[in-house]
Amino acid sequence: MNAQTAGNAGASRHPAAAPQPIPAPRSRPLLWWDVGVTALILLMCVPGGTGALDWSDTAAGWGGRLALHLGALAAFVLLYLALGRAALRRGIQDIPPTAASYAFSALLLIVVGAAVAIEPSYATLQALAYPMFWVMTPRYRNAVIWSGLLATAVGVGSAYAYLVRAIEDPYWTALAVAILSFGFSVVLGTWITRVFEQGERHRLIAEQLRQSQREVAALSSEAGAASERERLSRELHDTLTQTLAGLVMLSEQATRALDAGDPDRAHDRLSRVESAAREAVAEARALVATSQPLGDGGLQAAIERVVTRMGADTGLSIDWAMTPVTLSRAHQVMLLRAVQEGLANVRKHARATWAGVTLTEDVDGALLRVADNGMGVAHDSVSGFGLSGLADRVGAAGGTVSFGPGPEGGALLEVRIPHPMTNSGPTSHPEQGAPA
């Protein structure tokens, strides 16, 4: 059914703000209409033929009356084939009616009314005519109007037929038939229309849900790509960037040694450049392979390598003390990155001669401290990408990062990562202002 519900009289099927595309036509959308018309016409041939005999007490002129009765049915079939199928197809496919559709509707009123006037039992044609109007008409109000016109045509035809046949109270009987058929048509049409509209709403909701799912998938893909870019940026900062910065520093030291006429020191610096470059290659390969950078020796051995290399490259005196930790491998990598970031800040900003790295574990989790005896906290050291990224990662693990003045001068970086069972969510809050 195509008409709208009574509460939306005169409104079109779809909201104007969101027109829906015309659905692809089915291969045989009129199959059941063809079957219904054929079956009903064949059924009506029986009362049509017998009615021709019952019209009068004699059989005189029976052939002409039979031709008239069957001609009414033939007119219905021809009208259906000539105009009706095209009009119904447009209605089924939600295509607005054309002049031919309106012509079919008007002729259908005439043919059905005339058929009923010839044979009262032809009022059964209403079983096809009413649904045709509801399918062809895109507005509920118009469908009701056409149904009313059909009821009027059937009522007039019935009154004439009853009057000719001398049936008692022909007008009241015809009126009752028209009212009952009209009422049944409107009730059934309204109910089917509401069922159709409910199905349409469900279809639209399902389509909106599918569209939302597609949007969520696209956003998730974009978020995943952004997260991966951020991860790679942090990994590059924590590994290759710091190693390359060390290469620059060693190269400058080698240049100064050559300028000062100290080939032994220059040779030593160049050897360290080669070692650092090989380490950068290894870090790049590990990054490409997305493998964890701890190596076979675990966290303690990895921190020891970082501390030893930093001391040899910078001349810093670095003390370290570590106890084994029972964190996950990902959290251990986080602590290793914290050591690298802390020592990088000491090298770049502190102007220190000593640094200390301690790693302990208690019931609450692991605590890492990186201290120095330098000039204290510089503004650019708390606003850089390294500390900001470290704070984000540790915060995501439920840990905390603090960076500020040490108790005996210099600067102190503290990183605490809780055990999984005590993880209550990200609470990262570096002192001296959050890293940007």
CATH numbers and ranges of domains, the chain: 27-215 (no CATH), 297-436 (3.30.565.10)
**Residue 5 — pLDDT band, cuts 50, 70, 90?**
very low
Average pLDDT along the chain: 77
Residue of 71 and 57 predicted with greater confidence: 71
Does pLDDT of 40 surpass 70? yes
Q: What is the mean pLDDT of residues 167-196?
A: 79
Mean pLDDT, residues 411-418 = 92
Q: Model's pTM, two decimal places?
A: 0.43
pLDDT at residue number 377? 77
Instruction: Read off the pLDDT of each residue in 172-180 and give the average, rounded to a whole number.
Output: 81
Residue 385's pLDDT band, with cuts at 50, 70 and 90, is low
Span 144-158, mean pLDDT? 86
- Check whether 256 has a pLDDT greater than 50: yes
Res. 404: pLDDT tops 70 = yes
Average pLDDT over residues 196-212: 83
As a dihedral over the C-alpha atoms of residue 372, residue 375, residue 377, residue 378, rounded to 10 degrees, the angle is -130
Tokens 């390359």 correspond to 244
More confident site: 319 or 29: 319
Burial of 52 (0-12, 13-18, 19+ CB in 10 A): buried
Which has more pLDDT, 319 or 49?
319
pLDDT over threshold 90, residue 369: yes
CA distances from 53 to 42, 119, 398 (A): 18, 11, 96
Provide the pLDDT for residue 235.
66
The mean pLDDT of 222-229, rounded to a whole number, is 66
Residue range 242-269: mean pLDDT, rounded:
79
Residue 25: exposure state from Cβ atoms within 10 A (0-12, 13-18, ≥19): exposed
Predicted confidence at residue 251, as pLDDT, reads: 81
Query: What gap in Å lies between CA 77 and CA 73, rounded to an integer?
Result: 6
What is the mean pLDDT of the segment spanning 408-430?
70
pLDDT at 355: 92
**Side-chain half-sphere CA neighbours of 317 within 13 A:** 4
Stated as kind and residue range, the H or E segment containing 425 is none
Q: Which helix (H) or strand (E) holds 90?
A: helix 85-92
- Cα 187 from Cα 304, distance rounded (Å): 86
More confident residue, 55 or 95: 95
Question: Mean pLDDT lowest for which of 188-202, 236-250, 319-333, 360-374?
Answer: 236-250
| Region 15-26 average pLDDT | 42
Q: Classify residue 332 by burial, with Cβ atoms within 10 Å: 0-12, 13-18, 19+.
A: buried
pLDDT for res 400? 92
Q: How many angstroms separate the CA atoms of 369 and 350, rounded?
A: 15
- Predicted confidence at residue 321, as pLDDT, reads 92
Whole-angstrom Cα distance, residue 54 to residue 326?
A: 104
Whether 107 shows a pLDDT value over 90: the answer reads yes
> For 6-33, what is the mean pLDDT?
49
pLDDT mean over 324-337:
86
pLDDT-derived band at 432, boundaries 50, 70, 90: very low
Contact present, 103 and 83 (Cβ < 8 Å): yes
Region 45-71: mean pLDDT is: 66
Among left, alpha and beta (phi > 0; psi -120 to 50; other), residue 171 is: alpha
